[in-house]
Chains A and B, each alone.
Chain A
Amino acid sequence: MELDVFHLFLWEPIAFEGTFFEVNRVVLLMYFAALVTVGFFWLGTRRQQLVPKGMQLAAETGYLFVRNNIAIDIMGPKGAQYAPFLTCFFFFIFFSNFLEILPFVNFPVTSRMAIPAVLALTSWVVYVSIGFKRHGFSYVKDIAFPPGVPKWVYVILTPIELLSTFIIRPFTLAIRLLANMLAGHVLLTIFFLFTEELLLHGTLLQRPLGILTFLVAILLVVFEFMVILIQAYIFTTLTAFYIAESLEGHGEEEHAEDAHPEPIRETELAPA
């Protein structure tokens, strides 16, 4: 049995072949993930009640997690205004990844480079434009020439800093998400294929081995769920981290300009 890895990720176009809007299974699944993301928050905010329950509770808990544990934890009180943006990232990536272990779908759309690349590019545009907006041109100058180092170090430091901030960051952001989902998909496929091959077509000696691979495959699904959550969390956290660096700049500037806002209690989100 030979497994061609590339075959796992290639899908024939279904509709609008040859045009710009060509659709294949991956694109359909991406639309589905986007729709689920929108639907999740639409259902969650449709009928707001003072005491949230059901979908509203889920949506508010998710939003507050991103707001308090990612945005405010990393960017400080200023971070609260970027919470909606980060929430979109977190939940879109989470639902796209979740398709990996959804029965009958079993394909994470983030394992095709296009989607992580666009997400990473969005993140890049946001943190670079925030940096330019806050510091003007000295944003680039602060990155290229951080203060407080001996002059001769700049020969090495400047290229490394520029390269890492403007090229390596979005690149690794995309690669990290892609490779995790790719590896997960290949892993699950291999174990389920082995199970099928050994249990149904194997000799008498191979069948117990098939049961073993089946048990491991089930454990791997749980493991992949953890990876899915962690990857969504890491992508969002790193974006928040990059935005925080753009906000503060490399040199020490004004800090603690206003007091910490209290984390929002659930009741404040409900309509008055």
Chain B
Amino acid sequence: MIELAQEAGATGEGLSALAGGIAFGLAATGAAIGIGNIFANAIQAMARQPETAGQTRTTMFIGFALIEALALIGFVLTFIL
């Protein structure tokens, strides 16, 4: 991909923009799968046992926050790259 970009006459700036895009794209992919899993299972848990919905929601948000951090580190990385 880097060779392709070089053939297209991309400058260093363009390459670093490309790198930023790829970095955030990959970071977002993983986090999206993880967050999707968390919310899907939390909804299932709440539907099966509505009486524990409060506790499920707290745990869900903790897990969501921990995974979201990975995507956001990728987001910050795009500005650094």
Interface residues, chain A, with chain B CB atoms under 8 Å away: 5, 69, 73-74, 172, 175-176, 178-180, 182-183, 230, 233-234, 237-238, 241
Contact = CB atoms under 8 A, between A and B. Distances in A.
Contacts of B66: 172
Nearest to B71: A179
B51 to A, nearest CB: 15
Contact of A175 (B54, B61, B62, B73): B73
Contacts of B73: 172, 175, 179
B45 interface: no
B69 interface: yes
Q: Is the interface of A mostly helix, strand, loop or mixed?
A: helix
Interface of B: 54-55, 58, 61-62, 64-66, 68-69, 72-73, 75-76, 79
Given A175-B69, A179-B76, A180-B72, A241 B62 contact: yes
Contact of A74 (B58, B64, B65, B79): B58
Contact of A5 (B54, B65, B79): B79
Nearest to B76: A179
B69 A176 contact: yes
Given A69-B54, A233-B61, A234-B65, 6 more contacts: A69-B58, A73-B55, A175-B69, A175-B76, A237-B62, A238-B62
A175 B66 CA distance: 11
A4 B23 CA distance: 20
A238 B65 contact: yes
B58 A73 contact: yes
Contacts of B79: 5
A209 B64 CA distance: 35
A203 to B, nearest CB: 28
The residue in A179, A180, A233, A241 that gathers the most chain B C-beta atoms within 10 A of its C-beta is A179
A241 B63 CA distance: 11
Contacts of A5: 79
15 contacts: A73-B54, A74-B58, A175-B69, A175-B72, A175-B73, A176-B65, A176-B72, A178-B76, A179-B73, A182-B76, A234-B61, A234-B64, A237-B58, A238-B65, A241-B62
Contacts of B58: 69, 73-74, 237
A163 B61 CA distance: 23
B24 to A, nearest CB: 10
A69 B61 CA distance: 13
